[in-house]
C-alpha cells in the first residue's frame, strides 16, 4: 500500500514550458521526508555486447519483501538501476527497451515482468520506479545518429562534441538541453517511456541520474541557459504526474525537486532555512572530502541502500550478512532521520564538534556526545537508540544497539506510562519473533539488546 497523500510547497518561481509559474502550489505524489528512498542494481553491460545480471525482477520482489519486514513497513521508493537494454548506463539517450534477461520464466518478455514487479511491490509498502539518465549520449545508442544530425549534443569551443565521462568503456557525451527541448526530443523520450511502462503513472516518481547542466561553449550557451531548459524538462515530467528526484542537490531546483541522493552542497544555514519536507536526501557522499559530514547527524540522514543488497556483494559470505549491515544503517540512521523530520528546525548553537541542533518541542541533537533527546528523555546515546516509529499509526518503539546492552535502562515519555507492560519482538527479514514481555516501572524499561539486533516494543494495555 502506497501513501498518496499530497503536500504543498509555497515558494518558488519556476520556469515552465507554458511560461512563468509564480508562487504556485507544487504538489508531489510522495512525502519524501517520510519515505525510505533507495536504489536496487539489476544489471550492467558485460563488455562483450551482453548483460551481467545481478538481480532479476523476481529476485527483486523477494528482496523488497525482506526489506519491508526489516524496516517495519516504512513507506519505500525503490528505483531500479540497469533495467534497460544490457544494463546500467547502456544506450542513452534511448531508454525504450527492458533488459530481457531480467524477465520471469512465465512472462513473455521483460516489459511484462517489470510491470508485474511494479504492481506487486505495492503490497509491501513499496513504490517501484526507474533510475534513468537524461544527460548522457553514447555512440552505440539507437538515437546517436539522430542526436548528432540534429545538433542535440553540446559542443566545446572548437565545435567538437563535449565528452563528459567514460562509462562501460564508452565515451559519454552531454545532451544539449536547449536544442533537445526545442527539437521535441525531450518530450518524445519522456512520452515513449511513459507509453512503454504505463505503471509509471501510478508510481508517480522517477530518478534522473547525473542530471547536470553544463555550458555549451560551441553553442554559446551558458550554464544558466541550459539549467532553464533543464527546468522545462522537469515541468514536462510534472505534467505527466511524475515527481523527479536527482543525484546531486541543486540550489536552483529547491521546491521543484523534492529529493536528492547526495546532500554534500548543503550548508548548515540551508538545513535550517529549507525544511526536509521541501528538500531532503539520502546522505552526504563520503567521497566528497570538503563536505560538512556532521550535518548528517545534526539534522538526520537516510541511507544508501544500493551497496547493501545481497545481489551486489562480491562474495557469498558478505551476501549472507547483508541484512545485518542493512539493519545497522536503517536503525542508526533512518529512525533518527524520520523522527527529526517531524519537528521544525530552530537553530544550531556552538561550533565544530560542539554544535547542538535545536528543534521544536524540546528536541535537541548534540554532536559532541552523540545524544538525541526530547526534554529529559534520551532517545539516542552514541550507537544505542530507542526511537518512536513515527510512521506507525499505533504506538511503537524501535530499539537497537550496535555493541549490545545488558540491563540497559531507558526512560520513556509520559504517554508510555499508561502501559504497564510492553511486548518485545526481534526484527528480521522474515518478520517479527516474540522476545518476551517488558515491565514499565517508574517511567522506564530495562532492556537486554543483542549486538546488531533490531527490536520493536508495542504496548500491552493495562
pLDDT tens for 206-259 read: 999 999 999 999 999 999 999 999 999 999 999 999 999 999 999 999 999 999
Q: What does each C-alpha distance from 118 to 112, 200, 213, 367 come to in angstroms?
A: 10, 8, 30, 40
Residue 350 gets the label, from left (phi > 0), alpha (psi -120 to 50) or beta, of left
3 state DSSP class of 415: helix
Phi, psi of 386 (to 5 degrees): -145, 95
pLDDT at 284: 94
The 10s digit of each residue's pLDDT in 370-412 is: 999 999 999 999 999 999 999 999 999 999 999 999 999 999 9
| Residue 259: strand pairing partners | 280
| Residue 423: strand pairing partners | 437, 458
Residue with cell 517531524: 342
Is residue 414 very low, low, confident or very high in pLDDT (cuts 50, 70, 90)?
confident
Instruction: Tell me how many degrees the CA angle 213-216-218 measures, rounded to the nearest 5.
Output: 170
DSSP β-ladder status, 51-53 and 163-167? unpaired
Helical (H) or strand (E) element with 201: helix 199-203
pLDDT at 26: 81
pLDDT at 2: 35
The separation between CA 421 and the C-alpha centre of its own chain, rounded to angstroms, equals 36
Contact present, 435 and 453 (Cβ < 8 Å): no
pLDDT at 18: 35
Half-sphere exposure of 1 (CA within 13 A, CB side): 3
Higher pLDDT pick, 10 / 52: 52
Please state, in angstroms and rounded to a whole number, the distance separating the CA atoms of residues 375 and 373. Answer: 6
Say if pTM beats, i.e. exceeds, 0.85: yes
Mean pLDDT of 104-127: 98
Instruction: Tell me how many degrees the CA angle 2-37-3 measures, rounded to the nearest 5.
Output: 15
Contact present, 365 and 348 (Cβ < 8 Å): no
Please state, in angstroms and rounded to a whole number, the distance separating the CA atoms of residues 420 and 441. Answer: 8
pLDDT at 14: 36
The 10s digit of each residue's pLDDT in 147-172 is: 999 999 999 999 999 999 999 899 99
Half-sphere exposure of 370 (CA within 13 A, CB side): 9
Q: Strand ranges (DSSP E) for 34-169?
A: 36-41, 43-45, 51-53, 76-81, 126-133, 136-137, 163-167
Phi, psi of 248 (to 5 degrees): -110, 140
Output the average pLDDT for the chain: 93
| Range of 2-16, 109-123, 404-418 with top mean pLDDT | 109-123
- Based on its alpha-carbon atoms, the radius of gyration of the chain, rounded to whole angstroms, reads 23
Is residue 461 very low, low, confident or very high in pLDDT (cuts 50, 70, 90)?
low
Is residue 25 very low, low, confident or very high in pLDDT (cuts 50, 70, 90)?
low
**Does residue 17 have a pLDDT over 90?**
no
Phi, psi of 454 (to 5 degrees): -80, 150
Domains and CATH numbers, the chain: 7-262 (3.20.20.80), 340-460 (2.60.40.1180)
DSSP state of 92: T
pLDDT at 27: 84
DSSP state of 333: I
The 10s digit of each residue's pLDDT in 100-115 is: 999 999 999 999 999 9
The separation between CA 19 and the C-alpha centre of its own chain, rounded to angstroms, equals 30
Helix, strand, coil proportions of the chain in percent (round to 5)?
A: 30, 35, 35
The 10s digit of each residue's pLDDT in 131-140 is: 999 999 999 9
| Residue 28: strand pairing partners | 7
pLDDT at 1: 34
Q: What does each C-alpha distance from 42 to 4, 90, 165 come to in angstroms?
A: 27, 13, 22
**Does residue 96 have a pLDDT over 60?**
yes
pLDDT at 24: 46
pLDDT at 134: 98
Contact present, 36 and 334 (Cβ < 8 Å): yes
Amino acid at each position: 500500500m502506497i501513501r498518496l497523500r499530497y503536500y504543498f510547497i509555497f515558494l518558488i518561481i519556476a520556469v515552465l514550458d507554458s511560461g512563468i509559474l509564480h508562487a504556485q502550489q507544487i504538489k508531489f505524489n510522495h512525502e519524501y521526508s517520510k519515505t525510505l528512498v533507495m536504489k536496487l542494481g539489476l544489471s550492467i553491460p558485460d563488455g562483450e555486447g551482453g548483460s551481467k545480471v545481478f538481480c532479476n525482477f523476481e529476485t527483486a520482489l523477494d528482496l523488497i519483501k525482506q526489506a519491508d519486514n526489516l524496516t517495519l513497513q516504512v513507506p519505500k521508493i525503490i528505483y531500479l538501476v540497469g533495467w534497460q537494454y544490457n544494463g546500467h548506463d547502456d544506450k542513452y539517450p534511448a531508454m525504450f527497451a527492458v533488459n530481457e534477461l531480467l524477465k520471469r520464466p512465465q512472462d513473455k518478455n521483460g516489459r511484462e515482468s517489470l510491470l508485474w514487479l511494479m504492481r506487486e511491490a505495492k503490497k509491501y509498502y513499496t513504490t517501484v520506479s526507474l533510475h534513468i539518465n537524461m544527460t548522457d549520449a553514447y555512440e552505440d545508442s539507437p538515437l546517436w545518429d539522430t542526436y548528432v544530425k540534429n545538433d542535440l549534443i553540446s559542443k566545446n569551443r572548437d565545435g567538437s562534441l563535449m565528452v563528459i565521462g567514460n562509462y562501460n568503456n564508452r565515451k559519454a557525451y552531454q545532451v544539449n538541453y536547449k536544442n533537445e527541448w526545442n527539437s521535441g526530443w525531450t518530450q518524445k523520450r519522456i512520452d515513449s517511456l511513459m507509453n512503454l511502462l504505463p505503471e509509471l503513472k501510478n508510481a508517480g516518481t522517477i530518478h534522473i541520474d547525473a542530471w547536470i547542466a553544463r555550458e555549451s561553449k560551441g553553442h554559446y550557451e551558458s550554464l544558466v541557459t541550459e539549467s532553464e531548459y533543464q527546468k522545462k524538462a522537469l515541468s514536462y515530467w510534472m505534467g505527466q504526474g511524475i515527481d523527479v528526484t536527482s543525484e546531486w542537490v541543486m540550489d536552483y531546483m529547491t521546491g521543484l525537486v523534492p529529493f536528492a541522493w547526495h546532500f554534500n552542497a548543503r550548508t548548515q544555514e540551508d538545513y535550517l532555512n529549507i525544511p526536509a519536507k521541501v528538500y531532503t536526501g539520502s546522505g552526504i557522499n563520503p567521497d566528497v572530502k570538503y563536505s560538512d559530514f556532521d550535518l548528517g547527524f545534526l539534522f538526520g540522514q537516510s541511507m544508501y541502500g544500493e551497496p547493501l543488497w545481497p545481489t551486489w556483494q562480491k562474495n557469498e559470505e558478505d551476501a549472507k550478512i547483508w541484512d545485518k549491515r542493512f539493519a545497522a544503517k536503517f536503525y542508526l540512521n533512518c529512525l533518527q532521520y524520520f523522527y527529526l523530520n517531524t519537528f521544525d528546525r530552530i537553530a544550531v548553537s556552538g561550533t565544530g564538534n560542539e554544535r547542538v541542533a535545536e528543534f521544536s518541542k524540546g528536541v535537541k541533537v548534540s554532536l559532541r556526545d552523540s545524544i538525541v533527546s526530547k526534554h529529559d528523555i534520551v532517545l539516542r546515546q552514541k550507537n544505542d537508540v530507542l526511537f518512536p516509529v513515527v510512521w506507525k499509526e499505533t504506538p511503537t518503539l524501535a530499539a537497537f544497539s550496535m555493541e549490545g546492552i545488558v540491563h540497559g535502562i531507558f526512560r520513556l515519555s509520559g504517554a508510555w506510562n499508561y502501559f504497564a507492560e510492553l511486548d518485545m519482538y526481534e526484527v528480521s527479514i522474515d518478520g517479527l519473533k516474540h522476545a518476551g514481555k517488558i515491565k514499565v516501572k517508574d517511567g522506564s524499561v530495562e532492556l537486554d539488546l543483542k549486538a546488531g539486533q533490531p527490536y520493536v516494543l508495542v504496548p500491552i494495555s493495562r
